[in-house]
Chain A
């Protein structure tokens, strides 16, 4: 086992542990803290995939903004964290569905013959990435910024409350 694989397995284990914490923790704030752990570990996975820019974006947007937003929402909604209030009676069904999905997708992954290189990463130069984003993908990029603007205004209007009604 090369040291690169070793690092991957450590990062992957932290990711899965964080994700398990998110879905199994008995306390909502612990759940949110596990989410931060999982998101930062996913940033590590991005670095192993040689997508450093996305790793930085991940830390900034998810590690910073999204988790802060979720923690604030928890403060404002005062989630009841007794065991019954956390999980519904549908837990066994949920575990069955998730397990079935995992089994089927792992089966599909190992039995598929991927076209092209499957053992080695080809690093995409950051210059090419930026050029493609602002030239080939310029229209989707502008639409994404419009979506963000609409979401921002919508969130303010929905959360602001009754005033005009």
Chain B
């Protein structure tokens, strides 16, 4: 069988790739995609902990359901905001949207 550490290391790799994407990318859509990667990493960790360490309570499985739900809501709202910013300022790059930075 696969030891739990393999899944946790996979989660860590996915999460750090997400961190890299969020910090390095400039387009808001690409940053959102990197955030999705980080949420996936979190889901993997939740499910791994649930089925290995506490299969009697399996709260991790339930949490993964909520992570997916919140992620769907987040994507919908974030893309609406990005569309609105693009319509008002003709750019979707986060470092050009700096009206609050006076």
Contacts and interface: CB of A to CB of B under 8 A. Distances in A.
Contacts of A86: 25-27, 30
Contacts of A147: 69-70, 73
Given A76-B83, A124-B58, A118 B36 contact: no
A65 B75 CA distance: 10
A26 to B, nearest CB: 11
Given A106-B12, A137-B62, A147-B70, A95 B29 contact: no
24 contacts: A2-B1, A12-B6, A22-B34, A31-B30, A42-B44, A46-B47, A49-B7, A50-B51, A66-B72, A69-B79, A77-B83, A85-B27, A86-B25, A87-B24, A105-B12, A118-B3, A118-B53, A129-B62, A132-B62, A137-B62, A147-B69, A147-B70, A155-B80, A158-B83
A119 interface: yes
Given A31-B33, A42-B43, A129 B61 contact: yes
Contacts of A99: 16
Nearest to A55: B47
A95 B16 CA distance: 9
If over half of A's interface residues share one DSSP class (helix, strand or loop), that class is named, otherwise mixed; here it is helix
Contacts of A152: 73, 76
Contacts of A20: 17
Contact of A158 (B1, B69, B80): B80
Interface residues on A, range: 35 or more
Interface residues of B, number: 71
Interface of B: 1-10, 12-27, 29-30, 32-34, 36-37, 40, 43-44, 47-48, 50-55, 58, 61-62, 64-66, 68-77, 79-84, 86-87, 92-93, 95
Contacts of B66: 140, 144
A116 B52 CA distance: 8
A123 interface: yes
A62 B13 CA distance: 20
Given A148-B72, A158-B77, 15 more contacts: A23-B21, A23-B25, A23-B37, A38-B37, A54-B65, A76-B83, A79-B27, A79-B92, A122-B51, A123-B51, A144-B70, A147-B69, A158-B81, A161-B84, A161-B87
B75 A69 contact: yes
Contacts of A10: none
B17 A22 contact: yes
Contacts of B13: 16, 19, 102
